[in-house]
Amino acid sequence: MSTTPNPAAAHTFMVVATVRDDTNFAEFAALRDDEQKQLGVLRSDGRIGAHYVSAARRATFIEVITDDEKQVAETLATRSVLTRLAG
């Protein structure tokens, strides 16, 4: 069963996470494949739009499509791979 929000009721939230100073970039890069797979699942379910990682800005940007902020947090919790590193 799809959990895709009703497009008429859904809102777009832009979430920005800063890459911490103590981030291990080798570990960060090694986890990207798993992260991309999870993003693909969320994207096909209509829960994630754009996703960018900016090394120069030491940040990641994620467009979350959902009804409210509580569901944003729930969606982000499913992306725990990079969330751990970029909190």
- Nearest alpha carbon to residue 47 among 20, 72, 19: 72
- Nearest alpha carbon to residue 81 among 12, 15, 30, 13: 30
CA dist 19 and 4 (Å) reads 29
Task: Report pLDDT for 3.
Answer: 55
Task: Report pLDDT for 7.
Answer: 58
Each residue's pLDDT expressed in tens, for the chain with a length of 87 residues: 445 556 566 899 999 988 888 888 888 788 888 888 888 888 999 999 999 988 889 888 999 999 999 999 888 887 654 454 444
Q: How many CB atoms lie within 10 A of CB 3?
A: 12
For 11-86, the fitting CATH number among 3.30.559.10, 3.30.70.1060, 3.90.1150.10, 3.40.50.300 is 3.30.70.1060
Kindly report whether the global pTM for this prediction surpasses the value 0.85. Answer: no
Domain boundaries, the chain: 11-86
